[in-house]
Amino acid sequence: MTIRKSQKEDSGENKDRLLSKDYVLVMLGATGQAFMNNFFIAVMPLYIAKRGGTTFQAGMIMTVFALVALLVRPVSGILSDKFGRVKLMVGGAAVCSVTCAIFGVVGVVPLLMVIRGINGAGFGVLSTCSGAAVADIVPKSRLSEGIGIFGLYATVAQAIGPFIALEIVFNDELSEYRLLFFITAGICALSALANGCISYERKRKKQGIGTGDVSGGKNNVVPDSADGEPLPKTFLGFEHNILPAAAVIMVMFFGLAGLMSYMTPFARWKGVENPGLYFTVSACGVFISRMIFGRVVDRRGADIVVIPGMIVIIICLALLPQVESLTALVALALPLGMSQGAVTPTFNSMLFQRCSPARRGTASGAYFAAIDIGFAVGSPILGALADAWDYGYIFSASAIFVGIALVLYLLIASDKRYKAKIRT
């Protein structure tokens, strides 16, 4: 009888169970900061104008936020590998909560920039450590699927967050903005509470297991250093094995920055006054693909998803300048959303799979830093093209950037190249 039970545990679903209390709590904590981001993106230009600021100042507030978040990611990744994720996640969410509340009472624009920078630091710590925590919790055999489903929090927040925020500030009254910021502070406080209830690190500490291990009994994987073997060499704190994939992510997001930054003005330039349906359909595509393709990657590797997914992105971006109606725009939204929803989490899981378990925090930092750099560099380049010629050139250039990223992937980062490298 005992033997049968043991065999069931070794081969059954209990061993590879994806959903757990800690997995759900990490997702809830990340959802709070995702709503914070989408609330701020939707209303920040309006709020700065209400406070007497300029459009340039509104843009600078977003830049300061992104820059500070980028700078803290490597540090937070290293610290989380050494001291654990949960405390840093609670601290990051608490910083977000306090800074959101301060936004509701401060009206001086230069001071708002400083507060937004501190807010970016909290976000950078929280998002980096959340990604690493999920990699700790999810069974290795379902890593890509687990990360893909985990990322749905961002899809939900992107789909409904701006709508909620704009409804709250509908009359453009200062009292409405204060209400929004206080609501956001409360949501971030709930994120801190959810993160504080995560227990896998405490359980692991009682068992005497190191920071980089995967939790969950039979799913634990001992870090390389635990058996006396040295950890791999690093560059700027990042293991060499993850750098090729991180470089591909960065170049890919040079192009994807156009979709995030310029889709609305592009649509209006094409005569589509309200492209909201595009974003809704795109979000549906992301949702569908995250539910499907992670399991494919776990079973058959990254190449089978990344290569066709990037090809679809290139084709859709190249077709966007030809769009002349909302119908045509929406027709491209679903394949664009599905391909992004398949490719992006696959790269995330790829970095975790190619690093030592003891350095998942720095791998998470590398993933988000590559995205941040891609947006920070790609957005102004693509914007300059629009200023010099027109919005159509944005997506032609975006297709070229993603094409370059695909070539780089085939040359330096594909599963085939990585496996050949580690065999030698």
Of 310, 309, 305, 282, whose CA–CA distance to 294 is shortest? 305
C-alpha–C-alpha distance, residues 412 and 328, integer Å: 35
Tell me the pTM: 0.77
Structural domains of the chain ordered from first start: 19-216 (1.20.1250.20), 234-423 (1.20.1250.20)
pLDDT of residue 330: 92
Quick one: tokens of 403?
């094409």
pLDDT for position 295: 87
- Tell me what pLDDT residue 100 has: 96
Question: What pLDDT shows up at residue 125?
Answer: 94
DSSP label at residue 163: H
DSSP string, 277-294: HHHHHHHHHHHHHHHHHH
Which SS3 state, helix, strand or coil, does residue 51 take? Answer: coil
pLDDT tens digits in sequence order for the chain, 424 residues long: 333 443 443 444 455 777 889 999 999 999 999 999 888 887 887 888 888 887 678 778 877 888 899 889 888 988 988 888 999 999 999 999 999 999 989 888 899 999 999 999 999 999 999 988 998 898 888 888 888 888 888 888 877 888 888 889 888 899 999 999 999 999 999 999 999 999 998 887 776 655 444 433 333 333 444 444 577 676 766 778 889 999 999 999 999 988 877 887 788 888 887 777 888 888 899 989 988 998 899 889 999 999 999 999 999 999 999 998 999 999 999 999 999 999 999 999 999 888 888 888 888 888 988 988 888 788 888 888 888 888 889 899 999 999 999 999 999 999 888 877 777 6
Q: Can you give the pLDDT at residue 209?
A: 55
Q: CB within 8 A of 248, min separation 6: which ones?
A: 347, 405, 408, 409, 412, 413
Residue type, 400: I
| C-alpha distances in Å from residue 122, one per residue of 50, 110, 147, 352 | 26, 19, 22, 22
Which amino acid type is present at position 186? G
Could you give the count of Cα atoms lying within 13 Å of 417 in the half-sphere of its Cβ? Answer: 13
Rounded to whole angstroms, how far apart are CA atoms 263 and 236? 35
Q: Which of 138, 135, 102, 100 is nearest to 120 (CA)?
A: 100
